[in-house]
Structure 1
Amino acid sequence: MRRLCVLAGLALLATSAIAIGYPSGTPFADSSSLPLPLAIGWVVAQVCLIVLPALLLGWVAIRYQWPAGQAISIAGIYCVPLIVLADCVVFHWISQRFLSRATLAVLGQLHSRLASEMTTSTWLFAITLIGGFVLFVIGSWWLAAKLGRAFQFQPWSFVALVVAILVAFSVVPIWNLRQTRAEMYAFSTRHPLCAFHLVAATSVGTSAGDVGPGIRGNTESMKGVLAALEDRQRDLRVVHHRQDLPDVVIVVIESMRPELVAADVMPTLWRYTQKGIHCRQHFSAGNATNHGMFSLLNGLEATWYSRAVRDSPILNRLFRQAGYELGFFAGHDGWRRFRMDGFIGPQHYDRFQTERPGWLESDQRATRRAANFLDADRTNRGPRLAVVYLYSTHADYHSYPDDRIFQPAADDRFLIPFSQQARDGVWNRYKNSGRSVDRFLSVLLKDDRVAIVTGDHGESFLEDGVCGHGVRISQYQNMTPAVVYVPGQHAATIDRPTMHADLLPTLLAAVGIQSNDSDLFDGVNLLRVNDAELAERCFITRDYLSDDCALIGPWTVDPMKPFAYRVDISLEPWRASLLNPIDRKGDQINEKSGLTGLSAKQSLRQWANQRFGKEAVASFPDSSIGR
């Protein structure tokens, strides 16, 4: 029993050290209003509360000679530091608890795809953590045996000490319970109770599954609506196009933040914002490549991602009908691995050239192939459209030495997830990467060529608490810039929310292609839309890791109102329900300064009516859209 007590003590110290010392952002001393000794004591008290049940189980198991109980007790004690460490890392990386369905989805469904995207430094970080924990298990087991023999003490006295620490250091935090809960909510990785879901922590809000059964509409009625819309999608065709069709280039830049569109970061692209349309409040259809590319190639929101249109991209069909030769060129080849091969593959293009990621080298080759495709024999051929996907701005953000003007910048050894202290260096490294990618644009953008330059999604640098993208809806992960250049078109800046689904109808108008059913698109023609129309409309952006969607609208650009409203949307079975408002970080907020519940409900109803018609909306009872 003494060995078990020593083992529990070592686990208690290790767990407390992890919670206090993990570099998750805010320094520990700044995460609590308590004096530092009391703040440390409160963390230790939380660990005592978690360890105590396993310790008591072991005491009972030893007393009554129950080997299985002893094994469970030892495993439980070791699980405490393991879970707290894993929770710190996972929450820092993807803003989800380690013990959660979202993390289980990553480990179970996405691990093979995400493993290929992990950098060398991240692999080393993971190996170091695993190796360190294995050494802790071996070392603590040996040390517990040695100290258990060296010191003679009554096991009950150790248990009493644990209880005394728990009680003594819990008095002040419990006395100031409101303040304590607020601090635990805001700095959850500092508090082991949050890792075990014993205290609520920062959250995106209500789970879709918790809304209740009243949200479901008439699924049978909606099936007819969806079937009719999908018939229209299949029947979409070109009815007229001008004779002198221009060449088109669509450049998609990986993980592109709006801040990259600046004269000192991407000078080539910046020049085209001065003579094109610059969408400064632009949204991808989601925070990962699959949803962004789907929306860009179809003019539809990602709510349609799982439907039949996914395997027959509208852009390719219409431009091919108009006589275009189509090319796709990318410095990345993960389209099948990330389940995008249904709408990005050689079956949809006349020339399809991709390769394994080689960062700047593969991007340079993709650019050269696209330029050759567009520049070859321009007088004796039909029009051509090239889609170019550039990957070097993906983590770990590669750049040419001459472009590393933003300093200090992180070197190749930086870790992901990175700490708040390292954030500025990583951000500078990212901007340097954007500057290198801008070199490729100078080869592709021409004054006589229609062009769209945008990102597939954004990228978070700890602004919303995480590193990367695809893990929560936020300004930083879902927003990306868009620049549309049309020869002869006046320059314009749009500061209303726009989306990827707007780009295809805009492109069709820019080259002079008319379809038989332009109302089918979820997006609008940005060359002709007026400010009032943009100010009134709503649209959807979504999350990759979960089924979360967010309703974007006029409130998004108002700093006094919520950034977005989380919504639960499914086409089959048909449902649409308002969940809760979120801020720019994606966290749940109170509605005090936002829309009224009625206004938000009306906005969601307006969106459903625009997308699916009055029949779909009429299938809901009055209380079903919104709560």
Structure 2
Amino acid sequence: MPSWAFLLPAAWFIGLKAVAVASRASAPIGECLAYVLPDAVVGFGVLAVASCMYARERGIRRLVSALLCLLAVLLQTVCFVVLMRKGSPLDSELLVYTWRDFGNLHDALQAEARWFDPVLVVALLLACLPFLMRRLPRTRALWTSVALAAVSLPCAYMAVPTRPVHPVLAHALVRPLLWGASSGPVEQDVGLFELMPDPASLVKTWERRDANAERPNVILIVLESARASSTTPYNPRLATTPFLAELGKKSLVFERGYCLLSHSQKSCVTMFTGHPCELQQEIREPGRLPAAGFPERLRALGYRTGFVEPSTEKFENRRLLLDDLGFDDYISAEDIDSPLEKPGYFGYEDRALIKPAVRWLEENRSQPHHLTLWTLTAHHPYETPSSFGRRSFEVADWPPYREGYERYLNSLAYTDEMLRELFTELRRRRLLDNTVVVIVGDHGEGFEEHGRRGHGDIPWEEGVHVPLIVHGPSHLVGSPRRVGGLRQLQDIAATVADLVGVPGQRKPRSPLFGVSLLAPPDPDRTVYLFSWFNNSSMGSLKGNTKHIYFPRLQRHELFDLATDALERKDLGATLEEAAMTAKRRELMAYLGAVNTWWLAADAAEIDRMQRTELPPMLEPRSIDFGNARLVGMDAPEGIVHGAHMSLTLAFDVRDKLASGQELQLYAVVGESSRPVKTVRDLNRLPPASWQIGHKIVIPAWVDLRKFGPGSVRIDLKIGGVRKPLHELRIKKRGR
């Protein structure tokens, strides 16, 4: 192989960055060269390593050096395509997340594919052929490489929709992937914030409820990916959601509602618990909630609770999260048998909600109830069913990704029509009597207004400002009006608690905790905004002053929303060093306080495992495992196919358990037996640390999703002793 062939990776790195920078036509030449330099350094670094390995041109060295160059080129290309299409860099954590849930994300990735992607891949592989052309004459190999590169780079350029956010280009494209996206936040001075109430105190707050208080029905409608500025109540010149506009005239319309973190599952945790989700990319909350969500607290008051969505329950452990939150009933795409279309990749169109929702409300109208409806159609790829005619909207200022935004506006219009049909049917059946309806967006959506698409890493208004409307009887929610002041998704749980008579919900308890929407606006309130991508962006909003900090880039942005609602005039350059340091410290402190609270809740849960008395709800058992005896257990008789099993085990410790002894569950079907996992480690309180005379109570969620309908026996093994525990029936899905 000709030695100059090793220049190809460096040339490719420089070429891709040049294409990215060229999309910023207004950038001066000097700035463009500065942007290309990091990739040139990485490219020539790969060249140096590969050249050293290739020096002897024999055996495994030659093969490894060629594969090294090929891998570097592939990584750079993938990072380039992701950056150009999403506006955010591809990092190692996102790559791991995609790999773990590839089965559910496959269709989403396919929706982002373009016809020229295979052309790009083939051209890229062909361009690497000279690494394997050892016998090809040098001149001929040179011209072959030039010709193939001439095909490849134009294909790469076709992946560029518009100019990206320039700060991201300040580093080599592969930097987040190779060096990691998050090296761990620094300066987490938790002392800046008073930590939230501990989980036990949250439950005690509900215990102080006035027994004579009303128990109104509550319906929560979550509008998937709905940003406020694209709905008619918040943008009257844009006629996407006329029904919401009509309903808003008879409701409380909160002008400034924000999500904490722009990701659906994270927003779900925040809405139903009233406290922040974990501020990190990994979805670890399902099966690990430190405090009961308001659905479980409502059940204790005699409510029936249900959740209906047209999307799959398999993505990000959705069913487990809702079971952990305390919902009685959950209806997902797997339970819906409908002739309606599946225009996206996660499930049915939104009209598939209507029949199961109405049926559920009819079945439970005789008792207090709460029902959540979570829409889907406005989620990427923003496709509407074929029965919905494509509409045109007058938009004063189209975002750069116009084609996607047009589809998005149509998807919102479709969802609005579905809401009109739903409300018409509920009113006809008098299912809205004594009912409060809360309508909210889980997060916004970006269309390259600031160079980024979608959600997850968009701290600007299009990604975090969501519609928030409360509709209900005036004696419960007051007279219709528009309400100012900053609000956040944590406030929904506090509002539900307030409606059913739980005291103290209208007073701020902590900057990390929700306040009832029925409380007067707090002019001194600060809301915090975080990216789903670890340490990518975080910000705060107080009054009209919005500060965004990008830890990876060490960059600050500042906006005055009173005069610059679209955030086009960055005032970050006016910040003094002391102000930037103070804001960085404040944001890192909030991040640290939230994550510290979650870790403290984990530790407290382990402490509660060792008790002197058993909880009263456990069924008595007596199964001898040597030095420990199982004396109590709580487990359901049956679960639906695809669900986790909730299991609580209680032991009486009679003697010290040997070091190394562990608990292991097994599932037995017929003659087949295999170990099963729990969501959290069954041995998080190691048996060797159990104290003699104590009662050890271990809660767990057992993963039985791989088992089909039928009978399953659950066995427990401690050390060398294995005994049957429970007979479980896995039921077929109801349609």
Q: Match of 2:199?
A: 230
Which one of the candidate residues 458, 461, 473 is aligned to 1:475? 461
Q: What residue number does 1:19 align with?
A: 17
Q: Within the alignment, does 1:255 sit opposite 2:235 as a pair?
A: no
Residues 55, 73 of structure 1: 8 Å contact kept: no
C-alpha separation in 1, matches of 2:592 and 2:47: 55
Which of 409, 412, 420 aligns to 1:434? It is 412
Aligned equivalents of 1:525, 1:429: Cα separation in 2: 35
Structure 2 residue corresponding to 1:325, chosen from 279, 304, 321? 304
1:10-40 per-position Cα deviation (integer Å, ceiling 9, x unaligned): 5566555433446xxx7536153239xx96x
Cα distance in 1 for partners of 2:34, 2:596 equals 53
Alpha-carbon offset, residue 194 of structure 1: 2.0
1:333-369 deviation digits (Å, cap 9, x = unpaired): 23x5413444413983343211149358453222221
Change (3 A) 1:591 1:322: farther
273, 276, 296: which one aligns with 2:271:
296
Is the 1:330–1:353 contact (alpha carbons within 8 Å) kept by the matching residues of 2? yes
The answer (yes or no) to whether the contact 1:184–1:194 under 8 Å persists in 2 is no
* Greater RCO (Cα-Cα under 8 Å, separation 6 or more): 1
TM superposition score normalised by structure 2: 0.60
Correspondence list, 1:128-527, <5 A: 129-138=120-129, 140-141=130-131, 146-148=136-138, 150=140, 186=166, 189=169, 194-197=172-175, 209=184, 211=186, 215=189, 229-235=198-204, 236-237=206-207, 239-240=209-210, 245-262=215-232, 264-303=239-278, 306=285, 310=289, 313-334=292-313, 337-345=315-323, 348-356=326-334, 358-359=342-343, 361-375=348-362, 378=365, 381-400=366-385, 401-406=387-392, 423-445=401-423, 448=433, 449-471=435-457, 473-488=459-474, 489-509=478-498, 511-515=499-503, 522-527=513-518
The answer to whether structure 1 residue 28 and structure 2 residue 18 are counterparts is no
Instruction: Report if the CA contact (8 A) 1:239-1:516 is conserved.
Output: no
> What is the TM-score with the length of structure 1 in the denominator?
0.69
Report what 1:543 is aligned to: 531
- Name the amino acid aligned to 2:361: L
Counterpart Cα distance in 1 of 2:363 and 2:467: 30
Deviates more, 1:354-363 or 1:256-265: 354-363
In structure 2, C-alpha distance between the alignment counterparts of 1:487 and 1:382, rounded to whole Å: 18
Match of 1:624 in 2: none
Deviation at 1:66, TM superposition (A): 5.5
The unaligned stretches of length 5 or more in structure 2 are 147-162, 335-340, 560-566, 601-735
Q: Secondary structure at the match of 1:323?
A: coil
Aligned residue in 1 for 2:717: none
Hey, what's the Cα distance between the residues in 2 that align with 1:12 and 1:217?
47
User: Which residue identity does 2:302 align to in structure 1?
Assistant: G
Counterpart of 2:407, as a letter, is R
Shift in CA distance, 119/275, structure 1 to aligned 2, threshold 3 Å: farther
Q: Quick one: distance in 2 between partners of 1:137 and 1:68?
A: 18
Q: CA deviation at 1:45?
A: 7.9
Distance 1:548 1:460, change over 3 A: same
**CA deviation map 1:159-208 (0-9, x unaligned):** xxxxxxxxxxxxxxxxxxxxxxxx9992655x8x622549xx9x99xx67
Letter of the structure 1 residue corresponding to residue 166 of structure 2: A
Select the structure that is richer in helix: 1
Q: Which structure: greater strand fraction?
A: 2
1:344 to 1:103, Cα distance in 2 relative to 1, 3 A: closer
Contact 2:319 2:330 in 1 (8 A): no
Aligned counterparts, 1:75-90, within 5 A: 75-90=67-82
SS in 2 for 1:528: coil
Instruction: Render the CA deviation track for 1:82-126: whole Å, top value 9, x for unaligned.
Output: 33322212323555544x444444355554553354344538776
Structure 2 counterparts to residues 563-602 of structure 1, below 5 A: 563-564=547-548, 581-583=556-558, 589-590=572-573, 592=575
Which residue of 1 is the match for residue 645 of structure 2?
none
Q: Distance in 1 between matches of 2:25 and 2:214?
A: 64
Distance 1:279 1:564, change over 3 A: farther
Secondary structure (helix, strand or coil) at the match of 1:345 reads helix
Distance 1:347 1:528 in 2: 25
The answer to whether the 8 Å contact 2:275/2:490 transfers is yes
What's the secondary structure of 2:383's corresponding residue? coil
- The one-letter amino acid paired with 1:476 is E
Structure 1 distance, partners of 2:533, 2:451, is 16
Change (3 A) 1:14 1:317: closer
Q: Is the 8 A contact 2:262 2:464 kept in 1?
A: yes
The alpha carbon displacement at 1:290 in A equals 1.6
Structure 1's unaligned 5+ residue stretches are 159-182, 410-419, 569-578, 617-627
Shift of 1:478: 2.9
3-state SS of paired residue (1:399): coil
The letter for the 2-side match of 1:282 is: G
Partner of 1:114: 105
The answer as to whether partners of 1:106 and 1:545 remain within 8 angstroms in 2 is no
- Distance, in Å, in 1 between the alignment partners of 2:40 and 2:493 is 58
Query: For residues 610 and 295 of structure 1, what CA distance do their matches in structure 2 show?
Result: 12
Query: Deviation string for 1:507-558 (max 9, x for gaps)?
Result: 343x4433588767821122232x3x2x212344433332678453415x23
In 2, the alpha carbon distance for the partners of 1:250 and 1:527 equals 16
Quote the residue 2:621 is aligned against.
Answer: none
* Paired residues, number: 532
| Cα pair 2:459 2:538 within 8 Å, conserved | yes
Give 2:680's aligned residue: none
